[in-house]
Amino acid sequence: MTMANQAPKVGYSIREACQATSLSKSTIYNHIAAGRLRAVRVGGRTIIPATALHALVEGDN
């Protein structure tokens, strides 16, 4: 499947969030702990909703 055919992401792993925002893993975790970035646990994984990540980067928090 090519990039053009992929559905938009609805959630990011911590690693993907770091890559997408150029923030470090500890910075991402600090934002989660401070309540500035919403994260949910799905099974054993921490997922950051795309809307929450976009809001953090856009300064809507």
Mind listing the pLDDT tens digit of every residue in the chain (61 residues)? Answer: 566 678 888 999 999 999 999 999 999 999 999 999 999 999 999 999 999 999 999 987 6
- pLDDT for position 3: 61
- pLDDT for position 2: 60
- pLDDT for position 61: 62
> Was domain 10-58 assigned CATH 1.10.3470?
no
Sign of CA dihedral 7, 8, 11, 14: positive
Spatial strand order in the sheet of 11-12: 11-12, 45-49, 40-42
pTM over 0.75? The answer is yes
Percentages (nearest 5) of helix, strand, coil residues in the chain = 50, 15, 35
Sign of CA dihedral 27, 56, 40, 2: negative
